[in-house]
Amino acid sequence: MRNDLGLIHIYTGNGKGKTTAALGLALRARGDGLTVLVAQLFKSKSSELKMLDKIGVDYLQYSSSHPVFKKYSKNELAQHAKGCTEFVKRAFEITRKKKYDLLILDEIGPALAYNLVDANILIELIRRKPEHTELVLTGRGIPGKVIALAKQDYITEMNKKAHPYDRGINARQGIEF
């Protein structure tokens, strides 16, 4: 692990590009020999996985349906909350054990916004992360108290001016996923 690492990056907002920015950073980090773990919530079989494998980026996925696209019952939400929380804890545990230089928690924002991960639990995990692990959090709905942890590091808000989804064009493989 490099001693000059350890900052927090937040990519949030309603615009496209949060995951893309995080994966661009993963590519750059691997290009410089850093070790990278990408932990994705609400995704499975994303197009980027083949390339992550090729460049030596490790990844985990928690592949339940995104709460924006599926209506869950209270019971189902409770089950997903348990699964999401365990997934996030596991990502931090693996990061500590394998001493990753970069950890990306992709789509943690919606997990927080839908109470699938408690913000206080995430804050505690962030505070206990390895000192020299760079951390990236992506997604809409990241609460202010989590954003405050990165106030002197990186906070980027992607703003939507237009999006094909507004015209009824669904996400396209290789472009949006």
Asked whether residue 55 is domain-assigned, the answer is: yes
CATH number at residue 99: 3.40.50.300
Q: How many domains is the chain built from?
A: 1
Asked whether residue 59 is domain-assigned, the answer is: yes
H or E stretch at 74: helix 74-98
Asked whether residue 39 is domain-assigned, the answer is: yes
H or E stretch at 11: strand 8-12
Asked whether residue 1 is domain-assigned, the answer is: no
Task: Tell me the per-residue pLDDT of 44-97, one tens digit each, with 9 for 90 and over.
Answer: 778 899 999 999 999 999 976 666 556 767 887 888 899 999 999 999 999 999
Asked whether residue 123 is domain-assigned, the answer is: yes
Query: Domain span at residue 137?
Result: 8-158
Asked whether residue 94 is domain-assigned, the answer is: yes
CB contact at 8 A, 123 and 145: yes
Strand order in the sheet with 154-157: 58-62, 36-41, 102-106, 134-138, 8-12, 154-157
Rounded to two decimals, what is the model's pTM? 0.91
Beta strands in 31-133 (DSSP E): 36-41, 58-62, 102-106
Task: Tell me the per-residue pLDDT of 86-145, one tens digit each, with 9 for 90 and over.
Answer: 999 999 999 999 999 999 999 999 999 989 999 999 999 999 999 999 999 999 999 999
How far apart CA 64 and CA 114 sit, in angstroms, is 13
Asked whether residue 171 is domain-assigned, the answer is: no
Mean pLDDT score across all residues of the chain: 92
The pLDDT score that the predictor gives to residue 43 is: 81
Locate 131 and state its tokens: 């000192």
Asked whether residue 165 is domain-assigned, the answer is: no
